[in-house]
Amino acid sequence: MAHAYTPGLKVTEHIVVRRVRRLPIPGDVLVKVGDKVAPDTVVARTKLPGNPVTINVANIMGMPAEYLAPHLVKKVGEAVAKDEVIAKSISWFGLSKVYCRAPVSGTLQSMSPVTGQAIIREADIPLDVSAYVHGTIVEVIAGEGVVVETEGAFIQGIFGVGGETSGTLRVAVSAADEPLEARHLTPAHAGDIVVGGSVITGPAIKRAIEVGAKGLVGGGIIDTDLINLLGYDIGVAITGQEDIALTIIVTEGFGQMNMADKTFSLFKQLEGKFASVNGATQIRAGVMRPEVIVPGHMAKGAVKTLAASEGLVPGTTVRIIREPYFGALAQVVELPPELQVIETEAKVRILRARLPGGEVVTIPRANVEILEG
C-alpha cells in the first residue's frame, strides 16, 4: 500500500538542521564556508533605504512652484540637517523673511518645479542578519546570505509568538502535567528559556517579562491570556513579528494541554543547555512551525536529518487534533485503505489507533498529525 502522508511535528534528540539566513535586499556577506558562528554572529549586512519625507516648499514659501529655483539654498543630492534652511525669501529691504526648513535630517532627493514639493530621504537604516544558532557555515549565497548547519536536539511546537531568541534551557516544573505558574519564575531566570509542563498561565507570562526571561515553552496556552499579552486577537497570518518582550512556544495547542511525555523528557535531558528558539508560525501554504534547537546535544545512535516523513504506518505515534480525543497521543494500529462513512455522513479515509489507556478508536486521518522522532 502507498504511504499515507499527514502533517507532523518533529521531536528528536539528535538531528542535523540547516537554516538559511538571507537578507531582504542585496548586501554584503561577512563570513565564508567553514566559519564557526554563534547565534549573535552577524553573517550578512545591508542598508534599507531611509523613509521619504515630503515637504510642500511652494506652499511654505507662499509662491508658485516655477518661482522657487532662485530661492533654493540646498541642491538635489545634498545632505541636510533637521531645521536647516532649504529655501528662503528676503524682500522689502530685509523686513520680510520667509524660510523653509528641513523637518528631518537626510538627503534632498528631489525638488519638483511643477508641484513645488521636495522629498528628503532620511538616512539609510542598517540591517544585520545573525546566524541564529551555534553552527558552521556550509554555503554562501553571494550578496544575499548563508546557510548555517548545526547538529543537536530539535523540538517543533504547534504554535508560537515572538521572534528569534536564545538562552539557557531551564525546566521549572517537575512533571508534564504541571502548569507553569508565576511562582516558578525567579530573577535567576533572566535570559533563560523556561520550560513548563501543561498550560502557560497568564501570571507566568507577566512574571517572565518582569524577571527578563527570553522565552517560555509549555504544553498549552489560554487564548485570552495570549490576547492580553498581544493587545489584539491573533489571526491565521504568520506570527513571529510581534512586539513583545519574550518568545512563547506551545507544543500541544490551546487550553489546558499537557506536554507530551516524550517532549517533556527530552527537555529534562536538555536542562542547562543553550538553545535557539523561534516562535514564528504559519499554518497556511508553506507551513512554518515554532522551534527549539539545542546545538551540540550528542545523543547515542545514528544522526538523523531533516528529511521527508515516511508517513503514516502502523506503529506511528500521532496527536489527535479534533474532538472527542483532542490533544491525546495515540499509536496507529491499522490503516484501512477503503473510504468509510463517519458521523457527519462524509466518506473519508480513517485509521485505527490505540489510546494510552489501551482503547482502540477510529479516527479520520485528517484529524491527526504525526509526532515524529
pLDDT of residue 4: 42
* 189 phi and psi angles, rounded to 5 deg: -85, 5
Burial class (CB in 10 A: 0-12, 13-18, 19+), 285: exposed
Q: Which residues of 170-201 are buried (b: 16+ CB within 10 A; e: fewer)?
A: bbbbeebbbbbbeebbeeebeebbbbbbbbbb
Question: Which residues, listed in sequence order, are joined to residue 250 by a DSSP beta bridge?
Answer: 159, 218
Asked if residue 310 lies in contact with residue 3, where contact means CB atoms within 8 angstroms, the answer is yes
pLDDT of residue 113: 92
DSSP 187: G
pTM for this predicted structure: 0.76
Q: Which residues of 239-258 are buried (b: 16+ CB within 10 A; e: fewer)?
A: bbebebebbbbbbbbeeebb
Q: What is the DSSP annotation of 28-94?
A: EE---TT-EE-TT-EEEEEEEPPPEEEEEHHHHHTS-GGG-GGGB-S-TT-EE-TT-EEEEEEETTT
- The x, y and z cell numbers of residue 140, run together, are 554562501
Q: Which residues of 102-135 are buried (b: 16+ CB within 10 A; e: fewer)?
A: bebbbbbbebeeeebebbbbbeeeeeebbbbbbb
Residue appearing with cell numbers 539609510? 124
Question: Angle at which helices 223-230 and 202-211 pack, to 10 degrees?
Answer: 40
pLDDT of residue 1: 34
pLDDT of residue 302: 46
* Residue ranges for the chain with pLDDT beneath 50: 1-6, 302-303, 305-310
pLDDT of residue 235: 67
* Contacting residues for 324 by C-beta, under 8 A, at least 6 apart: none
H-helix segments, the chain: 57-61, 202-211, 223-230, 261-269
Residue appearing with cell numbers 556550509? 138
d(CA 136, CA 43): 11
pLDDT in tens, 138-182: 999 999 999 999 999 999 998 999 999 999 999 999 999 999 999
pLDDT of residue 175: 96
Tell me how far the alpha carbon of residue 60 is from its chain's centroid. Answer: 45
d(CA 110, CA 100): 15
Supply the Cα-derived Rg of the chain in whole angstroms: 28
d(CA 184, CA 202): 13
d(CA 250, CA 195): 10
CB atoms within 10 A of CB 213: 27
